[in-house]
Amino acid sequence: MQVYKLSSNEIAFPPLVAVGAALVDAAADLNRYPDMYATALTEALGARHGVGAERVTVGNGSVAVLQHVLTAVCEPGDEVMMAWRSFEAYPIAVQVAGARAVMVPVDGEGRHDLAAMAAAITERTRAVLLCSPNNPTGPALTQSELRGFLAAVPASVMVVLDEAYIDFVTAPDPTDGPALLGEHKNLVVLRTFSKAYGLAGLRVGYALARRRLTTGFRAASTPFGVNNMAMAAALAALQAEAQIRDRVAEVITERDRVVAALRDQGWTIPDAQGNFVWLDLGRRATAFADHTRARGVLVRAFAGDGVRVSIGEPEGNDLFLSLAGEWAARSARTLERA
């Protein structure tokens, strides 16, 4: 049976030809340690975002970079605030850093409740984590909302903006974290090569921040955190921006098709701005995941909350839509009999 993995928010496309060639070239030096400071990559990223290499911290995926960020700034007793539900790795990273996670529920549309988050900041709050678009619910913040939130947050509280899925946003006024770094010294922006750039298997993420913060993040980082193959692939991907944009456009088109089809089936879908959709199934989340897995579609269930479904190849998306339609029809019949 063909199995479609729609559970990990990966890009279904194979690596770009240029990335494959870069990996072949890099393989010749596998007996050598990588550049500890990832000089070429940090310079390329600094130029890409107009911030300078000295404000870039790279690591083994954005999750590892987030861990370095929190380790550098948190002490026991500190609190780190986040929307919930949001990225499942956040509470783990906070705990490892020795801090306590404070979760502020997302609103009824799966969006960050920024007013509630700002009101919940206390003297113990060391950092706030924002995820835009929010994984797993899908909605994105706007730049106007972000500006307003930053204005309401004390300068002593670090705001970490995770823009892992920013390339897929089509809503008006999308966030642009790098553009605000000069105005807000407490802002840290996380980006990754795992999503739009299709390098999930090589694990490359990075943070952009002011120089003083970056020095602390780098001090907390694992030596040789990005290997030679990953650095070569990331550099090649940065130089293939046009091809990356074309692939992203295909994902967006397919995402919008899936969302429209689900809504036609009767599902209520939050504003999907990433490469995934969210089904607010509550206690039925695990049962739905079992339903699709038995027919060859793997989705990500969050027990008691809902199901996140990644946008994959059209054939896998079509099968998922068929299974979602069966579920919706069966649920409607059950309600009619009740």
Place of tokens 């990005």: 226
pLDDT at 297 (0 to 100): 98
| DSSP strands (E only) in the chain | 4-5, 56-59, 79-84, 100-105, 125-131, 158-162, 187-192, 205-208, 276-279, 297-298, 300-302, 306-310
**Cβ–Cβ under 8 Å, residues 310 and 6:** yes
Question: What are the tens digits of pLDDT across the range 186-215?
Answer: 999 999 999 999 999 999 999 999 999 999
Structural element, H or E, at residue 89: helix 89-96
The helix/strand/coil state of 139 is: coil
Q: Is the pLDDT of residue 338 over 60?
A: no
Give the integer Cα–Cα distance in Å for 284 and 328. 12
End-to-end Cα distance, the chain? 36
What residue ranges define each of the domains in the chain, with the CATH number in brackets?
4-11+241-336 (3.90.1150.10), 17-239 (3.40.640.10)
Q: At what angle do helices 241-264 and 314-337 cross, to 10 degrees?
A: 20
Q: Is the pLDDT of residue 259 over 80?
A: yes
Question: What are the tens digits of pLDDT across the range 204-245?
Answer: 999 999 999 999 999 999 899 999 999 999 999 999 999 999
Work out the mean pLDDT of the chain and round it to a whole number.
Answer: 96
Closest CA to 278 of 165, 155, 157: 165
Give the integer Cα–Cα distance in Å for 338 and 329. 14
